[in-house]
Amino acid sequence: MKTQNSSATSSNEVDNTVKALKKLRQQMTFLIALSPLERSHSRHVGPKNIEAAQLSLSAVREYPNILPVGFDLARFEQTVQIAAGLYQCQAALKELASDVQDTLLTVGAEAAKGTQQIRALVKAAAQTTPGLKQMSQRLAARSQRGTGAEFQAAPVESEPESPPALAASPTLPVPAAPAVIPSAPQSPDNKAA
């Protein structure tokens, strides 16, 4: 990841990025939004599940005669490929969310530092400048609520109650996406390996 001075970033850049992300979200018409209840009853899907599905697909490609007559192999193959792709998409989004979190913490710390300086200046000037007393009181009230913590980013929930967001918990490690199992049958010598 590149390290960049936050002062080189403009608010327009951030606004344009948010708009682009919202547009991308709208274009992802394949996404499914579950209710919290549906989500709580859904099975967790992780790298081991994806790998097992890919191994199952490999097995039925090698031995198609074990499938019952009504089994839709083409649909299963498509589902496995989509699941693997979505897992990779989720991993990329977690990386992005982590980078946004780190940037927010860095920029937020700069904003908090400037806020403390301005707060002290307003408090001092409120003694002699008409109209600043009310602003000084408002800033003091905000200061009593937190010591810059308002600029710290809260961890992004991994299971939001609204439609799936573009971010997931950045504190969790992102495992590598499992490799796709080749579709070509193996020779009899390699089957035992």
DSSP for 36-57, please give it: HHHHHHSPP--HHHHHHHHHHH
State the amino acid at position 79 in one-letter form: T
The predicted-structure confidence for 19-72, as pLDDT tens digits, reads as follows 999 999 999 999 999 999 999 999 989 999 999 999 999 999 999 999 999 999
Q: How far apart are CA 92 and CA 98, in angstroms?
A: 10
pTM: 0.63
Residues 97, 167: contact at Cβ < 8 Å? yes
Q: What is the mean pLDDT of the chain?
A: 78
The whole-number pLDDT of residue 140 equals 83
The angle formed by the CA atoms of residues 86, 90 and 91, to the nearest 5 degrees, is 120
- What is the mean pLDDT of the segment spanning 156-160? 41
The angle formed by the CA atoms of residues 82, 83 and 88, to the nearest 5 degrees, is 95
State the amino acid at position 62 in one-letter form: E
Q: How far apart are CA 134 and CA 140, in angstroms?
A: 10
Higher-pLDDT residue of 141, 16: 16
Token duo for residue 184:
């070509």
In the Cβ-directed half-sphere of 61, how many Cα atoms lie within 13 Å?
16
Token duo for residue 7:
């002062």
Q: How many angstroms separate the Cα of 16 from the Cα of each of 9, 10, 22? A: 12, 10, 10
Count of C-beta atoms within a 10 Å radius of residue 124:
12
Residues 137, 88: contact at Cβ < 8 Å? no
Count of C-beta atoms within a 10 Å radius of residue 2:
4
The whole-number pLDDT of residue 3 equals 60
Give the residue carrying structure tokens 């299963």: 76
The predicted-structure confidence for 103-144, as pLDDT tens digits, reads as follows 999 999 999 999 999 988 998 998 888 888 888 888 888 776
